[in-house]
């Protein structure tokens, strides 16, 4: 069988045009199911879970099941590329490479429907990676429990790495992450009578400044953590004192104990703002992702194998503050994730992200070879 990467480049382009939000990947699921129906059916079984898909490829003499996961959702970003196949969904874009991830997964899956190995393979198309988080509820589903694998693998595109290279590391690879939403409620009033109001612009500004002291003064300098307030909203007009305010941000930490310490300190500072500014405050932690912890033995073995294969150049990657809900999979099942070089000047979540599509064929070849080596 000729497994040219060209059809999977076209698949990537098709998927790029239909980005959808978390648990809304209806067109994406339909597209994937239609493609799966074109494959030889003798060895595959398909289950759907919400807008996700699980595909089992039966081996010739299975003693275990090896899994490969790809995420499906897009981002609420207005595309600014010069592609001829830009997003057909206004305000949404595959700006994190999930279109690439799905195309690669289909390429690997297609290969093994024609070249089965001894072990069973499970291909996971997981919705809602960008939010609200699809991995954790998928792991609790009866579909997953029926086909729970023994090992699991995944990749993520890396704009800064050249095509033909991959990067990973044993142990902590991606950080624990948490969203952060803080609402402050005081009393609105006329700008000419500030003493009769309770100004949440002042309260929220003070809180934003105080929150920045947590990383610099409450976290061990040798423990990596980030706290960013990316959005603040307060008030309705220039001559009305704001009676409410909202801060939105993100927390990232390589260690779970550090995450707990940061959250505890946030609660203390918010309580202090309530007392000092006589307001009411609520905290919503939003979506939380646990760290991606690469199995140390498996990852070292993979890096050695990949380097020896000469299929790619292998780079040792430091842990990243990136969040990825693949962490829930490797918390339950031994496995790893790696970066795939796609060589583009625009970073992840950028409206002009244009990954080099040559990486698709490289990744398909790499993972079909690696899984074959494991399943022999």
Active site residues per annotation: 71, 130
Q: Is 226 helix (H, G, I), strand (E, B) or coil?
A: strand
Burial class for 137, CB neighbours closer than 10 Å (0-12, 13-18, 19+)? middle
* Closest among 357, 309, 339, 335 to 122, alpha carbons compared: 335
Backbone angles phi, psi at 302, to 5 degrees: -65, -45
Q: Name the strand (E) or helix (H) holding 53.
A: strand 52-57
Give the span between the Cα atoms of 138 and 203, in whole angstroms: 40
Are 18 and 28 contacting, i.e. CB atoms less than 8 angstroms apart? yes
Q: Is 156 helix (H, G, I), strand (E, B) or coil?
A: strand
For 285, other C-beta atoms within 10 Å of its C-beta total 12
Look up residue 372 and give its two tokens: 């074959």
Look up residue 12 and give its two tokens: 């990537």
Are 197 and 238 contacting, i.e. CB atoms less than 8 angstroms apart? no
Q: Which long-range contacts (CB under 8 A, 24 or more apart) does 192-198 make?
A: 192/239, 194/241, 197/241, 197/243, 198/241, 198/243, 198/277, 198/278, 198/279
Give the single-character DSSP code of 169.
-
Give the span between the Cα atoms of 67 and 124, in whole angstroms: 7
Give the single-character DSSP code of 307.
H
Are 122 and 294 contacting, i.e. CB atoms less than 8 angstroms apart? no
Cβ-proximal residues to 342 (8 Å cutoff; 6+ apart), any chain: 97, 100, 157, 158, 159, 161, 163, 355, 356, 359
* Closest among 124, 29, 114 to 71, alpha carbons compared: 124
């Amino acid at each position: 069988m000729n497994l040219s990467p060209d059809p999977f480049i076209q698949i990537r382009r098709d998927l790029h045009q239909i980005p959808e939000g978390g648990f809304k990947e209806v067109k994406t699921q339909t597209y994937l199911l239609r493609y799966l129906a074109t494959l030889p059916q003798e060895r595959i079984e398909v289950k759907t879970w919400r807008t996700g898909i699980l595909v089992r490829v039966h081996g010739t003499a299975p003693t275990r099941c090896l899994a490969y996961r790809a995420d499906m959702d897009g981002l609420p970003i207005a595309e600014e590329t010069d592609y001829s196949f830009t997003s057909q969904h206004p305000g949404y874009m595959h700006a994190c490479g999930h279109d690439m991830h799905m195309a690669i997964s289909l390429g690997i899956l297609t290969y093994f429907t024609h070249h089965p190995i001894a072990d069973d393979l499970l291909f996971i198309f997981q919705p809602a990676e960008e939010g609200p988080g699809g991995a954790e509820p998928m792991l609790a589903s009866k579909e997953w429990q029926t086909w729970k694998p023994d090992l699991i693998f995944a990749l993520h595109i890396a704009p800064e790495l050249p095509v033909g290279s991959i990067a990973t590391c044993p142990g902590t690879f991606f950080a624990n992450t948490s969203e952060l939403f803080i609402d402050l409620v005081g009393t609105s009033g006329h700008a000419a009578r500030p003493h009769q109001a309770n100004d949440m612009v002042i309260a929220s500004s003070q809180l934003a400044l105080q929150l920045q002291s947590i990383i610099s003064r409450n976290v061990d300098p040798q423990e990596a953590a980030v706290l960013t307030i990316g959005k603040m909203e307060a008030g309705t007009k220039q001559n009305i004192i704001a009676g409410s305010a909202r801060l939105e941000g993100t927390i990232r930490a390589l260690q779970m104990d550090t995450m707990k310490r940061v959250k505890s300190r946030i609660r203390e500072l918010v309580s202090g703002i309530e007392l000092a500014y006589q307001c009411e405050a609520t905290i919503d932690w939003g979506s939380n992702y646990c760290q991606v912890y690469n199995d140390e033995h498996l990852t070292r073995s993979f890096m050695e194998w990949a380097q020896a294969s000469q299929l790619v150049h292998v780079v040792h990657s430091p842990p990243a503050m990136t969040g990825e809900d693949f962490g829930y999979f490797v918390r339950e099942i031994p496995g790893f994730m790696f970066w795939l070089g796609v060589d583009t000047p625009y970073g992840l979540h950028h409206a002009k992200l244009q990954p080099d599509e040559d990486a698709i064929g490289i990744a398909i070849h790499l993972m079909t070879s690696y899984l074959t080596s494991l399943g022999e």
